[in-house]
Structure formats: structure tokens, C-alpha cells
Amino acid sequence: MNIVIVGNGLAGTLAAKTLRELDPEVKIEIFGEEKYPYYPRPNLIEFLAGRLPYEKLFAFPEGWNERQRIGLHLGQSVTRIRPAERTIETSAGASFPYDVLLLATGARAVIAPVAGSGQKGVFVLRTLDDAQAILGHLRDHKRAAVLGGGLLGLEIARAIRGRGAEVLVVEFFDRLLPRQLDPAAAAILKAQIEKTGISVRLGAVAKEIVGGGHARGLRFESGDEVEADAVIIAAGVTPEFGPAKDAGLAFARGILVDDRMRTDKPEIFAAGDAAEHRGQVYGIIPAAFEQARAAAYNMLGMDMPYAGTVPSNTLKIAGLYVTSAGIVSGEGHGFESLVRAVPEEGLYKKIVLKEGRLVGAIWMGTKKGASEVSRLVALKKDVESRKQDLLEETFDFAEIP
Ligand SMILES: Cc1cc2nc3c(=O)[nH]c(=O)nc-3n(C[C@H](O)[C@H](O)[C@H](O)COP(=O)(O)OP(=O)(O)OC[C@H]3O[C@@H](n4cnc5c(N)ncnc54)[C@H](O)[C@@H]3O)c2cc1C
């Protein structure tokens, strides 16, 4: 059997690895638009911060693909799928047959609707090429603005601050990490971030990047301006459809898949940031991971359903561990929230229950219990009788099986 995988990111690579583990014979070919072997994207932050050297970015040692007998075609994008003939075409003009195809084309960074974003000194961070371009620019430009106070924006800010840049984070919403934190937790985080020398401007709309071809500053909707000779846009991502649309595959926000990661064409699957499953486009590693594994099993005809991923993330931002899982601002009928906070220590713990079941949590300023509480959220555990205890430092999660 011939399996072709489009995309050399986490989903494509993990699917290939799983396929090989499951079947030593199947023929696997991966096509990747980028010229590099697989690297986990969080490594780009470490690279940007100078904590990870170039050689350590990559997930596998040299020759891994050959040893796994996985054909790797780097620097080649798949430009066309011909479903009727079951072939793909690449940017190098080659054509390959497939029996089963996986679309793992990921996502690309959104350029916010800001005038002047085409100038020199304006960047996004999605790929290794992007990271290298940012680093090159920061060598002689030190006043940086990061547009976006979400996870990626804050991570970028922290990384380049560590390189000695003066950094301003601009966030459209009235708080940082609007998707992961509630207002109280976001206020604690902001104070911690500011202690590291990063400036934060909330509720601000950058209307224009000013400069005559080279970024010089930002003009806000309010009319005032700040200087910035490096602007990094971290305004979210959008699924990359690659050749899926032209091939007539059903799509909405992402490429539509069922619980077997199958598109509306039975021999074509999709997984990762490009896929939309039950109305969700996740854009996070745990989902790409679970989807790619499920896709690999199902591509070989071994039934493995995928029922969705509960978003959960632990990050260290400005020295604070921040974990956010499930629904973090449960309001309305049937919801109950419990909080324990010590703001001066950066500590904030919150659990959200719906009819006694744990549906969300924020765990900030401590790692202790973070993965355990995330697991309980994923399982939607009934914690009604222990809800007060859960927030205590001394609580032993082993007591909730
Ligand atoms: C800097 C950074 C840090 C991150 N940190 C975290 C984190 O801490 N936690 C977390 O959960 N998530 C994080 N993410 C998000 C996470 O990296 C993504 O969810 C994950 O990479 C998705 O994997 P994927 O394989 O679906 O897509 P991608 O990693 O985007 O890979 C898709 C690949 O397909 C290639 N491709 C696209 N079209 C074609 C084509 N037509 N032909 C051939 N190849 C093609 C692309 O070039 C790309 O290399 C981070 C993202 C970034 C950018």
C-alpha cells in the first residue's frame, strides 16, 4: 500500500511514525514545503531566546527517516490532488500515486488587518525561517512591539526580552490570554510580566505600522503613536488548506473530518491544525497528536475513533507556571466557580464545575497538581464532595481516582 502524507509538521511526522510502528511494509512518502526535517514549533521560542542552539531544534537524529524507511521530500509542496486518479503533484513537477492520503498541512499565521504590515521589520512566527528572520533583524533593531497578548505573543515577548530587546505587547482585549484566563488571573499575570521589563498595552487597536518601507512605529486607533523598529504579529493562525479545496474536499473553517479523521473522500484523511472535527479547529499540540495517531490507525483499516481533545496547556510565562484547561469562565445556569488566590505570590487557582462535574481549571503560579487537575477536567470528573479541598496546596489528587 502507498501512503502519501502532505505536511512535515507534528501531525504528518507522528502519523508516519505511528504507521511504521503498526506496519513494517507499508510505503510512506512525506512531502514538506519547508526545507527542514521535523522540528517541534515550541522549540522556536527557545531558539529565539537563545536557549536552544540550531542543531538541537530537530526532533530526530540525522538519518532517522531512512532508518524508518519513510521517504522524505523536503522543500516540495503538494500543489494538486487528483482524487479520481489517486495521484498528487508537487511543486517540483513530480507526480506520485497514493492508495491513502493524509493532509497534515497545518496552519499559517494570520496577518492582522493592520496597514503597513508589508514593510521590512514586520514578522510573524510560525516557521524556522520566520525565527531566523526575526533574529537577524533584532541584531540591530531593539525596540520591538508584539501584536497579540495570547500564548504565542507572550512567549515571543519573553524570548526577545531575554535577548535584550525593549518589548511592548499590544492586546486588543482588555486582558492578557483572553482565551485561557479569567480577568483576575490575567491581572496577576500582567503584573508579573511587567516586572520582567515588558510593557503591556491592553484594549488597544494598532491601526497602522508606520514607516516608509521600514517599520518605525505603531499608530493606534486612539491616534497616539509609539516607536517600534521590529513588529511581530501574533494574532492567531488559520488552517492551511493546501491543495484540499481544489480537490473538492468539504471544508468549513478547516478541512472537515469525521471521528475516524476521514474527509468526505474515503481514501483521504486530515489531521492537526488543518482539520476541523465536530466544529473544532484546535491549533494545539495535544489535538494534533491525538488526531495524527487516530488517523494512522484508521488509514490502515484499524478502527480508532477520535472524540475530541479538551484544550489544556501548561506554560511558564514570566517565571509563572500557567495551566488552563477546559472552560475557564463558567457563567450561567448550572456553573459554579471556586477560587483561591494569593496575588502577591502570583498564585491563582480556580475550578469550574457544571452540575458537580469539573469542566475547567486555571492553575497559575504553581505546577503542583496542574497535570492532575487537567486530567480531571478531561474526564469531567464528579468532584462535588471534594471541591473545596481541591484548591488546597496539600491536596493529594490520588484521592480522586
Ligand atoms: C512558536 C510556536 C510555539 C507553539 N507552542 C505551542 C505550545 O506550547 N503548545 C501547543 O499546544 N501548541 C503550540 N504551538 C502550536 C503547535 O505548534 C501546532 O498545533 C502544531 O504544530 C500543529 O501541527 P501540524 O502538523 O498540524 O501543523 P504544522 O506544524 O503547521 O505543520 C504543517 C506543515 O505542513 C507544511 N505544508 C503546508 N502545506 C503544504 C503543502 N501543500 N505541501 C507540503 N507541505 C505543506 C507546512 O509547511 C508545515 O511544515 C506553537 C506554535 C508555534 C508557531
DSSP 256-299: EE-TTSB-SSTTEEE-GGGEEETTB---SHHHHHHHHHHHHHHH
Report the distance separating Cα 349 and Cα 115, nearest Å. Answer: 40
Low-confidence ranges of the chain (pLDDT < 70): none
φ, ψ of residue 44 to 5 degrees: the values are -65, -35
Residue written as cell 504590515?
117
Task: Check: CB of residue 330 under 8 Å from CB of residue 207.
Answer: no
Alpha helices of 54-204 — where are they, by DSSP H? 64-68, 128-138, 151-162, 183-195
pLDDT at 344: 86
Q: Would you give the distance in Å from CA 180 to the centre of its chain?
A: 13
Cβ atoms < 10 Å from Cβ of 276: 18
Predicted TM-score of the model (pTM): 0.93
pLDDT at 246: 94
φ, ψ of residue 289 to 5 degrees: the values are -65, -55
Q: Show the domains of the chain with their CATH numbers.
A: 2-108+237-299 (3.50.50.60), 122-233 (3.50.50.60), 312-399 (3.30.390.30)
Report the distance separating Cα 12 and Cα 272, nearest Å. Answer: 8
pLDDT at 376: 94
Task: Check: CB of residue 5 under 8 Å from CB of residue 15.
Answer: yes
Ligand 1, residues at Cβ distance < 6 Å: 6-12, 31-34, 41-42, 44-45, 77-78, 104-107, 125-126, 152, 240, 242-243, 272-274, 283-285, 288, 313
State the DSSP string of 213-225.
SB--EEEETTS-E
Task: Convert the pLDDT of each residue in 280-303 to its tens digit.
Answer: 999 999 999 999 999 999 999 999
List the residue whose alpha carbon is closest to atom 29 of ligand 1: 9
